[in-house]
Amino acid sequence: MTRSFSLAVIPGDGIGPEVVSEALRVLDETARIHGFSFTQTPYELGAERYLETGEVLTDETLAEIRGHDVILLGAIGGRPGDPRIPAGLLERNLLLRLRFELDHYVNLRPTKTYPGVATPLRDPGEVDFVVVREGTEGPYTGNGGRLRAGTRHEVATEVSLNTAYGVERVVRDAFRRAQSRRKKLTLVHKTNVLVHAGGLWSRVVDEVAPEFPDVTVDYLHVDAATIFMTTDPARFDVIVTDNLFGDIITDLAGAISGGIGLAASGNVNPDGTAPSMFEPVHGSAPDIAGQGKADPTAAIGSVALMLDHLGLPEAAAAIDAAIMADITERTGPRTTKEVGEAIAARVAGDVAGA
C-alpha cells in the first residue's frame, strides 16, 4: 500500500520560490526512494500577487488550501518599505491568517549545531533544542488599535490575549516532546512584569507538570533566556513560550546555531483539524532573490518536519541525515540548486563515497 498525500505549495516572494523548488526536488526523490506519493497544488500568493491583483488571501483560496493534507510555504514579503504595501498587510492577512485559521497552535522550531558549521559563538557546545512557540494567541491576535491616529494625542494599544485553553494545549504538547527527548522543559516568559499572562502560563505549567513526572521543568525570563542562548545554548532541550517571545528567541537561536539559512519550522495543528504548514524561518530576502544564492537547507529541513508530521519518520530521518552530511562536508559556496541536488542525491544514496 503506497501512502499518498496532497500538498498545497505556496512559494511566495523573493527567494521563496527558489528554495521551495529545491525542497520539492528533495521531496520527489524521497518519495521515490521511500515509497510514498503526493499530489501538489501551487498557490501564487504574496507581495507580487497583491501588487498585481490587490488580493491577499480570499476565503475561496483559503477553503481550497484547507482541503489539502499539508502545506509547504517559502517566504512572504515584498521589498522592505515598499510604499505600495501597508506595513503588516501580508503578514497579518496571509501568513498569520493561515496560522490562525488553520489553528497552528504549535509553532515548532528546532535548533541544532552542525559539526564544521561556523557559528558566531566562540564555543556553542553541542546544541540541540526545540522551541515550541505558541502560534495562535498572545500579542499576535491583532487586538488593539489607534485613537487619534496621526495626531500628537495618539494612543496606540496592543492587546496580548492568552487563554487557559490555548496555553494548556501547547504546554501539554511541549511536555510530550520533552518526554521523548532529554526530558527537560524550560518555560520562557516575563512573569515579573507581565503578571497576568505570566501568571496564567506559570499556573498551567505547574498544573500539567505532574502528568509528566520524568520531565524536569525550569523557568527563565525572556531577557535572561537571550543571555543563556549566547553563553550556554546547550543547556536547552525543549523551550515552551508565547508567540512573541518565541518569534524573538527562535531568530536568535537560528543565528547562534549557524545561520537562519538552516532553520526549519512547522506550524502544526496537532489535532489534525486542518492542514499543518511547514516553512523556513527565514524571510523572502528580496535583496538576494533570483540570484541562486539562497540556501535551501531550511526549506528542505521543513520538508523533513512535514514528513515526520505525516507519519513518515523514516523518510524524514533520511532527509535529516542527508542535510547533516551535506552541511558537514560543505566547502565552497554553491548555488541554491547545487545544494538541493546534493541533498537529493544523498537521500537517493547516490553520492560518491556514500
Ligand X SMILES: CC(C)[C@H](C(=O)O)[C@@H](O)C(=O)O
Residue 193 CA: distances (Å) to CA of 43, 136, 222, 247, 327: 42, 22, 11, 19, 41
319 contacts a copy of itself (rule: CB under 8 A): no
Q: State how far the Cα of 46 lies from the Cα of 328, in Å rounded to an integer.
A: 34
Residue of closest CB approach to ligand X: 91
| Gyration radius from the chain CA atoms | 20
Helix (H, G, I), strand (E, B) or coil at 70: strand
Per CB under 6 A, the list member of 95, 98, 178, 260 interacting with ligand X is 95
130's CB contacts (< 8 A; 6+ apart) are: 108, 109, 110, 111, 177, 181, 237, 238, 239
Per CB under 6 A, the list member of 154, 223, 314, 350 interacting with ligand X is 223
Residues in 298-317 that interact with a copy of itself by CB under 8 A: none
Q: State how far the Cα of 158 lies from the Cα of 247, in Å rounded to an integer.
A: 16
- State the nearest-atom distance from the C-beta of 352 to ligand X, in Å: 37
Stretch that binds a copy of itself, among 137-145, 289-297, 309-317, 328-336 (CB under 8 A): 137-145
Site size toward ligand X, by CB under 6 A: 8
Q: State how far the Cα of 32 lies from the Cα of 38, in Å rounded to an integer.
A: 10
| Contact between residue 130 and residue 108 where contact means Cβ atoms under 8 Å apart | yes
49 is in an annotated binding site: no
- State the nearest-atom distance from the C-beta of 255 to a copy of itself, in Å: 4
Residues in 153-212 that interact with ligand X by CB under 6 A: 192-193
Q: Quick one: which H or E segment has residue 29?
A: helix 16-34
- State the nearest-atom distance from the C-beta of 47 to ligand X, in Å: 12
- State the nearest-atom distance from the C-beta of 342 to ligand X, in Å: 26
Residues in 269-288 that interact with ligand X by CB under 6 A: 281
Residues in 303-322 that interact with ligand X by CB under 6 A: none
- Site map (CB under 8 A) of a copy of itself, residues 232-261, x = contact: ------------x--xxxxxx-xxx---x-
- State the nearest-atom distance from the C-beta of 159 to a copy of itself, in Å: 5
Strand partners, 4: 37
Residue 229 CA: distances (Å) to CA of 36, 236, 250, 254, 255: 39, 9, 10, 10, 10
Q: Quick one: which H or E segment has residue 165?
A: helix 164-179
Greatest C-alpha distance within the chain: 69
151 contacts ligand X (rule: CB under 6 A): no
Stretch that binds a copy of itself, among 15-23, 46-54, 159-167, 293-301 (CB under 8 A): 159-167
| Sequence ranges of the binding site for Mg(2+) | 223, 247, 251
Q: Which residues of the shown chain bind ligand X in the complex (CB under 6 A)?
A: 91, 95-96, 192-193, 223, 247, 281
| Sequence ranges of the binding site for NAD(+) | 283-295
